[in-house]
C-alpha cells in the first residue's frame, strides 16, 4: 500500500493499493500490446486525441488543483495554472508534432536519401511530486504524439492526482495507450528492465537520476534526465533592481520553492549588494504561510517532513559556516510541514546553500566584485539547469548568453519552462531535452533511408 501524507496537516491520507511485480509487468505488457495500432495512426488522428485530452483536463481542473493542494501542498491558484499549462502542452504537440517529425531530405550519393522519425514503442516516464500534472504532460504529450505508448510511474506522494489524470487520458485514448504504474520505488528498476520498455524519461533528484541512468544504460535504453539545479541569478549594478527583486522573489517562492528551475543563488555586484539584500528582505517579510486549499496568495507547505528537515539542516549548516540569516530560518510552531521564506546573505562557495540544491523557500545571496567574478561564481557549480542575469547592458547580456553554463539562460526575466522551447540541463542537472521541437525527437528512431 502507498500511504500519502497531507503536508498541510501532517495527517495521513487514504491508502492506495500498489501493484505487485507481476501486476506491474502485466500493465506494461498492455501498453506494449497497444503500441502497433497506435503507431500506425496518422498525426492528425493522434493530434485529435490530444486535443480531446486537453479539453477534458480543463473540465477537471478544479478537482486536479484540489488534489494537488491536498497531496503536495500546492496553492489552488498555482494548481489551476499548472493544469492550464499542461493542457496547452497537449495542444501544442497536437498542432505542431507532424511538422516537427516531418521527413528531412538530405543530399548524398544516392538518388534519394532522407531521414524519417518513427516511434520506438513504449516509453516509461518516472515523475516527481512537485508538478504532477505539468510534468506528466511534458512527458506524455510529445511521446504520444510521436506514436509511442506510455507508462507513467507517478510519485507515491500524489497517487490521487495521478489516478484522476490517468482517468482523463484513458477516457479518451484507446485501451493500453497510456497506463498508470502505481508501484513502490523499489519496483522501478524492474520496470526499466522490462523488455517492452524502449526508453525512459525521468524527472527528479540528481542522486536518483544517477541510478535511473545506470539501470537504463545497462539495458542500452535511451533516457532523458531532468534533474536538480542550483540556478544562479546575476544582478548587475545597471539592472532595474526593483523589477529584478520582484521576479527573483516570485521565482524562488512559487510552489513553496520546490522547483528545479527556481533561482537558488543570487549573485550581486558589490556596489548594490546591500540594496538588493534590503529589497529582498522586505519582499520575503511580506509573505505569509497559509493553507494551500484556500484561494489565497499564501506560501504552502513543504511536501514531506523529511524534506523540510533536510532543508532546515542546509540552512543551519550555511549559517554555522558564516552566512547571515536576515529572515526566516526557523521551523514554525504549526501543524504540517511548513518552512518560512528564508534569506541567507554573505553566502560563499563551500557553504551548503551554495553547493547543494535547496528545494524549498530558501534563497542564498552572494557578493561579486565585478561582472567577471559574478560569472565565475555563477559557473562554480556541478549543476547546469537554468541561469539568469539582470542588466541593461547589451554586451553584458550577450556575454551571459554565451558564458553561463546551463541548459537555458534568461535575460531580464524568469527561468521557466514553455512547451514551445526545449528544456533540460548539463552536468548534474541531467541530459537530453524536453519540450519544443527538440523534445519530441528524443523518443523516435531517426532512420536514414538511402535509395540508389
User: pLDDT tens digits for 156-177?
Assistant: 999 999 999 999 999 999 999 9
Chain segment 117-158, per-residue pLDDT in tens:
999 999 999 999 999 999 999 999 999 999 999 999 999 999
* Position 210 in a domain: yes
* Position 417 in a domain: no
One domain, residues 102 and 211: yes
One domain, residues 54 and 66: yes
Q: Once rounded to an integer, what is the mean pLDDT over residues 379-393?
A: 98
pLDDT classification of 409: cutoffs 50, 70, 90: very high
* Position 256 in a domain: yes
One domain, residues 239 and 210: no
DSSP E strands: which ranges in 32-75?
none
One domain, residues 167 and 294: no
One domain, residues 238 and 151: no
One domain, residues 149 and 10: yes
One domain, residues 439 and 293: no
* Position 421 in a domain: no
Q: Minimal CA–CA distance to 50: which of 165, 172, 175, 132?
A: 172
Residue 195 exposed, middle or buried by CB count within 10 Å (0-12, 13-18, 19+): exposed
Q: Which are the contacts of 26, defined by CB distance < 8 A and separation ≥ 6?
A: none
Structural domain span for residue 380: 231-411
* Position 313 in a domain: yes
Task: Answer whether residue 265 shows pLDDT above 90.
Answer: yes
Q: Minimal CA–CA distance to 200: which of 185, 215, 187?
A: 215
Position 281 scores a pLDDT of: 98
Task: Answer whether residue 295 shows pLDDT above 90.
Answer: no
pLDDT classification of 225: cutoffs 50, 70, 90: very high
Chain segment 57-114, per-residue pLDDT in tens:
999 999 999 999 999 999 999 999 999 999 999 999 999 999 999 999 999 999 999 9
CATH number of the structural domain spanning residue 307: 3.40.309.10
* Position 420 in a domain: no
Question: Average per-residue pLDDT in the chain?
Answer: 97
Position 277 scores a pLDDT of: 98
* Position 12 in a domain: yes
Position 357 scores a pLDDT of: 97
Q: What is d(CA 7, CA 303) in angstroms, rounded to the nearest whole number?
A: 5
One domain, residues 200 and 277: no
CATH number of the structural domain spanning residue 141: 3.40.605.10
Residue 409 exposed, middle or buried by CB count within 10 Å (0-12, 13-18, 19+): middle
Position 439 scores a pLDDT of: 97
One domain, residues 21 and 93: yes
Q: Say how many domains are in the chain.
A: 2
* Position 273 in a domain: yes
One domain, residues 237 and 106: no
Q: Which are the contacts of 202, defined by CB distance < 8 A and separation ≥ 6?
A: 125, 126, 208, 209, 212, 213, 223, 224, 225, 226
Task: Answer whether residue 1 shows pLDDT above 90.
Answer: no
Q: Once rounded to an integer, what is the mean pLDDT over residues 25-36?
A: 98
One domain, residues 275 and 330: yes
Position 136 scores a pLDDT of: 98
One domain, residues 186 and 289: no
Q: CA angle at residue 319 from 314 to 324, to 5 degrees?
A: 130
Q: Once rounded to an integer, what is the mean pLDDT over residues 319-334?
A: 97
- DSSP secondary structure, 184-253, as one string: -GGGHHHHHH-TTEEEEEEES-HHHHHHHHHHHHHTT--EEEE----EEEEE-TTS-HHHHHHHHHHHHH
Position 261 scores a pLDDT of: 97
Q: Active-site residue numbers?
A: 226, 260
Task: Answer whether residue 56 shows pLDDT above 90.
Answer: yes
Amino acid at each position: 500500500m502507498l500511504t500519502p501524507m497531507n503536508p498541510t496537516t501532517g495527517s495521513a491520507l487514504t491508502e492506495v493499493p500498489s501493484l505487485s511485480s507481476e501486476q506491474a509487468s502485466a500493465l506494461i505488457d498492455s501498453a506494449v500490446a497497444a503500441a502497433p495500432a497506435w503507431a500506425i495512426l496518422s498525426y492528425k488522428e493522434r493530434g485529435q486525441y490530444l486535443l480531446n485530452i486537453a479539453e477534458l483536463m480543463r473540465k477537471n481542473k478544479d478537482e486536479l488543483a484540489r488534489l494537488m493542494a491536498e497531496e503536495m501542498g500546492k496553492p489552488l491558484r498555482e494548481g489551476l495554472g499548472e493544469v492550464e499549462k499542461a493542457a496547452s502542452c497537449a495542444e501544442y504537440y497536437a498542432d505542431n508534432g507532424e511538422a516537427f517529425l516531418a521527413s528531412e531530405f538530405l543530399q548524398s550519393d544516392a538518388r534519394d536519401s532522407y531521414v524519417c522519425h518513427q516511434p520506438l514503442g513504449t516509453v516509461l516516464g518516472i515523475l516527481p511530486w512537485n508538478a504532477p500534472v505539468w510534468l506528466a504532460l511534458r512527458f506524455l504529450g510529445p511521446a504520444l504524439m510521436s506514436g509511442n505508448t506510455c507508462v507513467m510511474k507517478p510519485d507515491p506522494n500524489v497517487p490521487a492526482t495521478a489516478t484522476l489524470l490517468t482517468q482523463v487520458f484513458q477516457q479518451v485514448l484507446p485501451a493500453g495507450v497510456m497506463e498508470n504504474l502505481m508501484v513502490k520505488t523499489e519496483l522501478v528498476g524492474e520496470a526499466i528492465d522490462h523488455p517492452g520498455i524502449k526508453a525512459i524519461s525521468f524527472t527528479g533528484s540528481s542522486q536518483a537520476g544517477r541510478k535511473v541512468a545506470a539501470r537504463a544504460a545497462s539495458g542500452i535504453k535511451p533516457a532523458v534526465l531532468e534533474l536538480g539545479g542550483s540556478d544562479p541569478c546575476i544582478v548587475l549594478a545597471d539592472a532595474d533592481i526593483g523589477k529584478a527583486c520582484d521576479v527573483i522573489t516570485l521565482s524562488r517562492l512559487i510552489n513553496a520553492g520546490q522547483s528545479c528551475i527556481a533561482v537558488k543563488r543570487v549573485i550581486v555586484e558589490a556596489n548594490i549588494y546591500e540594496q538588493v539584500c534590503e529589497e529582498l528582505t522586505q519582499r520575503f517579510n511580506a509573505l505569509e504561510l497559509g493553507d494551500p486549499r484556500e484561494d489565497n496568495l499564501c506560501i504552502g507547505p513543504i511536501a514531506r517532513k523529511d524534506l523540510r528537515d533536510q532543508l532546515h539542516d542546509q540552512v543551519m549548516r550555511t549559517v554555522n559556516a558564516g552566512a547571515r540569516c536576515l529572515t526566516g530560518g526557523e521551523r514554525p510552531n504549526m501543524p504540517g510541514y511548513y518552512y518560512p521564506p528564508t534569506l541567507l546573505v554573505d553566502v560563499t562557495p563551500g557553504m551548503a546553500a551554495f553547493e547543494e540544491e535547496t528545494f524549498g523557500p530558501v534563497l542564498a545571496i552572494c557578493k561579486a566584485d565585478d561582472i567577471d567574478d559574478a560569472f565565475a561564481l555563477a559557473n562554480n557549480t556541478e549543476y547546469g539547469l537554468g541561469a539568469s542575469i539582470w542588466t541593461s547592458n547589451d554586451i553584458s547580456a550577450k556575454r551571459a548568453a554565451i558564458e553561463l553554463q546551463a541548459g537555458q539562460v534568461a535575460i531580464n526575466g524568469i527561468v521557466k519552462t514553455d512547451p514551445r522551447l526545449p528544456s533540460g540541463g548539463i552536468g548534474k542537472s541531467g541530459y537530453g531535452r524536453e519540450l519544443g521541437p527538440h523534445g519530441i525527437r528524443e523518443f523516435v528512431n531517426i532512420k536514414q533511408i538511402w535509395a540508389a
